[in-house]
Structure formats: C-alpha cells, structure tokens
Structure 1
Amino acid sequence: MGSAMEHAGVAGGRPKKSPGGSQLWKKALLHSSLCFVMGFFTGFAPSSVSDWRSVAPVGVGSSHMVRTPHLISGAVNRSLLARGVIPAPGAPQPLLVVVTTTESTPTAAGERAAMLTRMAHTLRLVPPPLLWVVVEAAPDVPATAKLLRDTGILYRHLTYKENFTAAEAAAGKERHHQRNTALEHIERHRLAAVVHFAGLGDVYELRFFDQLRQISTFGAWPVARMSRNERKVVIQGPACSSSKVLGWFSRDLSNGTTGTGGGTAATSPEIDVHGFAFNSSVLWDPERWGRYPTSEPDKSQDSMRFVQQVVAEDYSKVKGIPPDCLEIMVWGVDAAPATAPSSSGQTPGNKRRRW
C-alpha cells in the first residue's frame, strides 16, 4: 500500500527540467544577438555601388556615349504585334543610325528641348538596334546632355566649337557642318549601319523604320514638307517604278505645280537630305576618292556632298521605298519661327486662302 502511494506521488509530480533545453535557448539568443549587431554596423558601412548620375562629369566633351536600356522586351513585342510585324527568331537586325541636327540661334534654342523630347518618344518605339546621334554647338551641350540621359535610348552626343552667324545658319551652312561632323564620327569608328538624317520637325510612320532596314546601299522616299508660316505643302522625292528610281520630282499641292529633276551631273536635282538614307560603308569605299580630281581635295573630304552627289547621279544604286513611292511615310515641318503679326493682326499665313 505504501509502495503504491509512493509510486503515485512520483508519477503525479512535475518532471525535472532537462539541462539540454536551457542550453538550446541560450545558443539561439546568442546567435540572434550576433546577427543583430552585425546588421546594425553593416548599415553604417559605405555602399560599393553608386548612382551613375551622381558621378557623371559636369563638363561634357566633344563626344560621349551613354548606354541605357532601350526598351523592355515586352514593350518591343507589343509594338511589333500591333504593327503586324513578327521578327524572325534569331535573325540579326541591321543597326539604324538616326542623325539629328540642331540650330544654335536663340529662337531655336527655346524649342530644342521640346522637339528633342518628341523625337525621343518616336525613337523609343523603334525596335533595337538603334543609335541616335545628336549634333549641336558646344555652348548648348549641358542642358541637352541631361535630356538625352533620361530618354532611355542609346545615343551619342557630338559637339563642335566652330561659330556660325545668323546668316550662315539661315543659309544651311551650320546644319551642313553638323551632318559632316556626324558622318566623320561614323567613318572614324566604322559604324556599320543604315544612316538617316532626321529633322527635329519630322513626323514618322513607324513602318518607315522597318523599310530603312531593307536598304543595302541607298534608299529614297517622298517627303511632304509643310511650312509653319504658309498654308502650303510641297512633296519632294523619287519617281519610282516598283523599287526602281526613275527620277526626282517636286509638287506643290497649294497650286498643283509639278517640277522634275534630271540625273545628269550638269543638272543634278536638289534632294532633301531627309528624303534618303544610305549604308555607312559608302563612306570608306575606295571608289569615293576616285570621283574627284586631285586639284579639288576639299570636295573629297566633304562626306555630305559626296553622298548627295551619288544619290542624285546614280539611280541604279538607289532603292525606292515604299514600293512605287506612292505612300508618304515622312512629314517634315519647317522649323522656322513664326513671324510676328502685322499691324492689321494678320500673319502671312492668315492672308492665304484656306485649302
């Protein structure tokens, strides 16, 4: 009886604490404390990764390039599907180099940022690879450099130190110099690409850039040029049979007049630089240096004049796009500032009849 009571008392009492359990809690507490201390002091350590914008140089050199993400793959796929273009898997696309020139006049400087931003939005919709080359005078570089960094487009920003008067800029000498600056950069770095000169006031249909990638040597297309001060639209471009260029024409839709240009050296037509593109390999083609006599070395060095001359003279190398050149895919807006209203409150454009 007593033995049974003793066993019952032992069974109903509280069990003794195991010494291993307390040691486990002590180890867990020690590990937690060590992790907390390490994390606390790690927060005060300087980071090894810095923002690329914070270390960007303040001064901008004559040429610099910033590589930024162009487009996420999903956005590219949505853009291509919306336009009905399905790229072949694994097929490499040729590089497009879009050259944009600017003006250094005070009036143009006020609109430069807005027009560059609009052009950037257009180029963001073009599937890569694409390189945007922007050329401008050195004093205007800082503001434009910041704008280009935020576009998300692969670009190169070229500058020059030459000064041009307002009369020279109006005559197109500054833009001609800017285009030669861009072509010199392309030739120096041997950028294999299709080169196109895009004006700040140009408006594009996105299918146009797909047509550009199909150019092997030269390509040309009609451009509808609109004037800001006058109610007038002039269409200039090649006259084509399928993709074969037969000549050049210019038509003023305001009065219906049409002019044509021949292709001889004596009567080379005036070709809009925004109306053709070419493969950059022609810039370092050995045949280029044999086209000019040794007595005229300056002409052989003028890359822009050389390209324009080849396009105007040799139709066999020029491909008309789109087929038959019947569709206008590029609209150019004259970037000249609007004139001030006269005393009667009418501008020259308001005096014209509506059409």
Structure 2
Amino acid sequence: MYRHLVCKRNLTDIKDRQLHQRNVALSHIETHRLDGIIYFANEDNVCSIDLFQQMRHIRQFGTWTVAKQTWDKSRFCLEGPVCNGVQVIGWHLNRLSRRFRSFHTEMSGFAFNSTILWDLKRWHRPTLEPIRQLDTVEDGFQASIS
C-alpha cells in the first residue's frame, strides 16, 4: 500500500522541499494514526532490498551503516552507529564530515516506528507535541549535508 501526498508550498531550494515533504508526511501519519516503519528515502539513495527486509524487524528505532562519497568525490567512506548490544552509544564519522555536520546520522541511516508520533501512552510521551523538522533553524543545522 502507498499514499501520494502533496506539499502545497512552491519551493525551489531542494533542501527546503525535502524538509516540507517530510513534515507533510509526518503530519499525515499522525492525523491518520498510521502504524508502520518510517524511513526517509531520497532520490539519490541506493538501497539494497535487504535493507527493507531488515526494517521489518524494527520495533522502536533502527540505524545502520551508510556508505558516503567524500566531499571531493574521490573516495567512499562508511559512517554508522557504534553499538553496545542493542543500544547506540556513539557514531563513526570521517574527520571531514564531523566538521561540517551538526547531526551525525544521515537521513538514510535510520528508521523508526510511526506510533512514536501519535501513541503517547505506548512511548511515555508527556504531550502530543508534533515531531517536525523546523524550518526556522539556521541553514546548515537542519540536517546533515555532506
């Protein structure tokens, strides 16, 4: 099953478009109380079908290693979680990425249970404050860009 959602804002900046599209999707999931796994795929991601098979096992939050092309396009590096059993305790980053990013994980490096957005009791959330990416945040601090 799939749903096609429309972001009604006319935006020319690709980063703004992605941000507003994600927020429209999050709002739709909350409004309709959809139960499933949320993964933010971008048009430039290449994913193995195995990734989607593994996502079926996520109960709360899942994260994994992502291969990244370096900023000068000359090499690839791996970035991903450092885990202690089932708990994420750190993040592997290359030195250059660390300098330019405010968040360690890539949007393509995690997925989570959609009920976190709307089931207060299950996740012990004190309020139904919407979870959104803010469009008022200073450029470069919204999401990782590298």
**Alignment TM-score, normalising by the size of structure 2:** 0.72
Quote the Cα distance in structure 2 between the aligned partners of 1:288 and 1:275.
27
SS in 2 for 1:301: coil
Quote the Cα distance in structure 2 between the aligned partners of 1:163 and 1:180.
15
Quote the Cα distance in structure 1 between the aligned partners of 2:26 and 2:50.
25
Structure 2 residue 100 is the aligned partner of structure 1 residue 275: no
**Alignment TM-score, normalising by the size of structure 1:** 0.32
CA displacement, residues 146-166 of structure 1 (integer Å, 9 cap, x when unaligned)? xxxxxxxx321111221224x
Quote the Cα distance in structure 2 between the aligned partners of 1:232 and 1:163.
35
CA displacement, residues 117-152 of structure 1 (integer Å, 9 cap, x when unaligned)? xxxxxxxxxxxxxxxxxxxxxxxxxxxxxxxxxxxx
Aligned residues, how many? 128
CA displacement, residues 279-325 of structure 1 (integer Å, 9 cap, x when unaligned)? 011001331637xxxxxxxxx434346xxxxxxxxxxxxxxxxxxxx
1:213 to 48, 56, 59: 56
Please show how residues 319-330 of structure 1 align to structure 2 within 5 Å: none
Greater RCO (Cα-Cα under 8 Å, separation 6 or more): 2
Q: Which runs of 5+ in 1 are unaligned?
A: 1-153, 252-256, 261-267, 291-299, 306-333, 335-355
The 1:231/1:288 distance shift into structure 2, 3 A limit, reads farther
1:204 to 47, 59, 66: 47
Structure 2 residue 132 is the aligned partner of structure 1 residue 303: yes
More helix as a share of residues = 1
Q: For the pair shown, which has the larger CA radius of gyration, 1 or 2?
A: 1
Quote the Cα distance in structure 1 between the aligned partners of 2:83 and 2:96.
16
Paired residues of 1:183 and 1:304 also in contact (CA < 8 A): no
Paired residues of 2:26 and 2:131 also in contact (CA < 8 A): no
Partner of 1:162: 9
Partner of 2:19: 176
The 1:191/1:232 distance shift into structure 2, 3 A limit, reads same
Partner of 1:239: 82
Paired residues of 2:117 and 2:131 also in contact (CA < 8 A): no
Quote the Cα distance in structure 2 between the aligned partners of 1:164 and 1:209.
30
Query: 1:213 is matched by which residue type in structure 2?
Result: R
Q: CA deviation at 1:259?
A: 7.0
1:289 to 124, 127, 130: 127
CA displacement, residues 3-31 of structure 1 (integer Å, 9 cap, x when unaligned)? xxxxxxxxxxxxxxxxxxxxxxxxxxxxx
Q: Which runs of 5+ in 2 are unaligned?
A: 135-145
The 1:304/1:237 distance shift into structure 2, 3 A limit, reads farther
The 1:301/1:242 distance shift into structure 2, 3 A limit, reads closer
Structure 1 vs Structure 2: percent identity of aligned residues? 37
Paired residues of 1:248 and 1:269 also in contact (CA < 8 A): no
